[in-house]
């Protein structure tokens, strides 16, 4: 029996020392250590031995079996960890993944450009809230309650007294109430209109308001400033026109159109801003002496002028967040 124990141990060692994978190792385990394995058989045989012979074989058999078990456990964990390593194999020759850098939204870029041009013309930047009082959005700007001009701007009311501002003009009111002339400021921001959404209008858009109040401001200066802006923004050969118009808070008032020409299509005039001389009533409302001071003001639609400059045919694309559009700028 001793010979057979020795032989089993020797064979077991040879079998696990040959190139082996986890599957074959399991076969070896069953063959030697399984319920019907060689060592189990030897133990069965051992049980049958006469009592006095047992000590002679017991120790050897136990030792051989635990050694086999130990060698098996070691090899198994080694094989398992190398298999895991193989799964994590990193191919260092693969090209790296590109880092996607974001960029400023085209409206932000347009706003930055407008601000830059007007800063160069001596304007400072001033901002006001998007949630505004009816008082500042309309009343102070010479739109009395029930005035038909209120219909020019469909309004999102929050309650009887508050609304989402329909234009950036109420920021003029805030500024004039808090500052003594001379005032020369640019007021950019979001505005809201309860309008049917289409290629031309959206419920939200951006405006840039301008205001200059001093002792002898003229309409000619207003025109000169706006033309300087148009030329810097669109280029020297921009085609524009000033057209008489009406706003409750300016007198006289005008609108500026820029010629919109898409390839293969008929060109047309597109309105980009309203402007005029600040109505004396507005100056009186904000307690600025309207005998001494005059002012001009203007308000332009940022989406409109971005559409013109970059040939965008539908205002909604600015808000869709479609990367195919955004990545072009």
Chain residues in the site for ligand DAH (CB under 6 A): 167, 169, 209, 247, 250, 274-276, 297-299
Report, in Å, the least distance between residue 276 CB and ligand DAH: 5
- Length of the chain, please? 329
**Complex with ligand DAH: residue 169 or 285, whichever CB lies closer:** 169
DSSP H or E run through 16: helix 2-17
DSSP 145-188: TT-GGGGGS---BSSSSEEE-SSSHHHHHHHHHH-PSPEEEEEE
Report, in Å, the least distance between residue 204 CB and ligand DAH: 13
- Say what the alpha-carbon torsion angle 140, 145, 147, 150 is, to the nearest 10 degrees: 70
Report, in Å, the least distance between residue 114 CB and ligand DAH: 14
CA distance 176 to 124: 14
**Complex with ligand DAH: residue 12 or 212, whichever CB lies closer:** 212
> 294 pairs with which residues across the strands?
214
Cβ–Cβ under 8 Å, residues 228 and 121? yes
Report, in Å, the least distance between residue 245 CB and ligand DAH: 8
| Exposure class string for 202-231: b at 16+ Cβ within 10 A, else e | beebbbbbbbbbeeebeeeebeebbeebbe
**Complex with ligand DAH: residue 76 or 200, whichever CB lies closer:** 200
**Complex with ligand DAH: residue 5 or 297, whichever CB lies closer:** 297
> 257 pairs with which residues across the strands?
241, 271
DSSP 234-283: H-TT--EEEEEEEETTEEEEEEEEEEE--TTS--EEEEEEEEEEEPHHHH
Report, in Å, the least distance between residue 216 CB and ligand DAH: 18
How is residue 311 written in tokens? 């040939």
**Complex with ligand DAH: residue 49 or 270, whichever CB lies closer:** 270
Q: Rounded to the nearest 10 degrees, what angle do helices 22-33 and 54-87 cross at? A: 170
**Complex with ligand DAH: residue 25 or 185, whichever CB lies closer:** 185
**Complex with ligand DAH: residue 225 or 250, whichever CB lies closer:** 250
Report, in Å, the least distance between residue 191 CB and ligand DAH: 7
Report, in Å, the least distance between residue 209 CB and ligand DAH: 5
Cβ–Cβ under 8 Å, residues 226 and 298? yes
Most distant CA atoms of the chain, gap in Å: 132
Report, in Å, the least distance between residue 90 CB and ligand DAH: 59
**Complex with ligand DAH: residue 42 or 186, whichever CB lies closer:** 186
> 164 pairs with which residues across the strands?
131
**Complex with ligand DAH: residue 39 or 169, whichever CB lies closer:** 169
Phi, psi (deg, nearest 5) at residue 184:
-140, 100
Report, in Å, the least distance between residue 247 CB and ligand DAH: 4
């Amino acid at each position: 029996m001793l010979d057979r124990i020795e032989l089993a141990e020797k064979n077991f060692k040879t079998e696990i020392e040959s190139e082996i994978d986890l599957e074959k190792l399991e076969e070896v385990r069953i063959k030697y250590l399984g319920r019907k394995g060689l060592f189990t058989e030897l133990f069965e045989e051992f049980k049958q031995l006469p009592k006095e012979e047992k000590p002679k074989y017991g120790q050897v058999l136990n030792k051989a079996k635990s050694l086999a078990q130990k060698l098996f456990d070691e090899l198994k964990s080694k094989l398992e960890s190398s298999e895991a390593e193989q799964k994590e194999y990193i191919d260092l020759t693969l090209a790296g993944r590109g880092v996607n850098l974001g960029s400023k939204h085209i409206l932000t870029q347009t706003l930055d450009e407008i601000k830059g041009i007007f800063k160069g013309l001596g304007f400072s930047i001033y901002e006001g809230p998007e949630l505004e009082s009816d008082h500042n959005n309309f009343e102070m700007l010479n739109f009395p309650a029930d005035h038909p001009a209120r219909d020019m701007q469909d309004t999102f009311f929050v309650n009887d007294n508050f609304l989402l501002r329909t234009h950036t003009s109420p920021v003029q009111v805030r500024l004039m109430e808090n500052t003594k002339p001379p005032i020369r400021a640019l007021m950019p921001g979001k505005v809201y209109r309860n309008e049917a959404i289409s290629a031309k209008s959206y419920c939200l858009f951006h405006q840039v308001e301008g205001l200059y109040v001093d002792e002898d401001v003229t309409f000619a200066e207003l025109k000169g400033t706006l033309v300087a802006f148009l030329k810097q923004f669109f280029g020297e050969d921009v085609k524009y026109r000033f057209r008489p118009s009406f706003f409750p808070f300016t007198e006289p008032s005008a609108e500026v159109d820029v010629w919109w020409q898409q390839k293969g299509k008929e060109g047309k005039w597109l309105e980009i801003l309203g402007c005029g001389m600040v109505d004396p009533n507005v100056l009186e409302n904000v307690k600025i002496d309207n005998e001494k001071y005059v002012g001009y003001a203007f308000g332009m639609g940022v989406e409109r002028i971005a559409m013109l400059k970059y040939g965008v045919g539908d205002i909604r694309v600015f808000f869709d967040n479609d990367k195919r559009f955004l990545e072009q700028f």
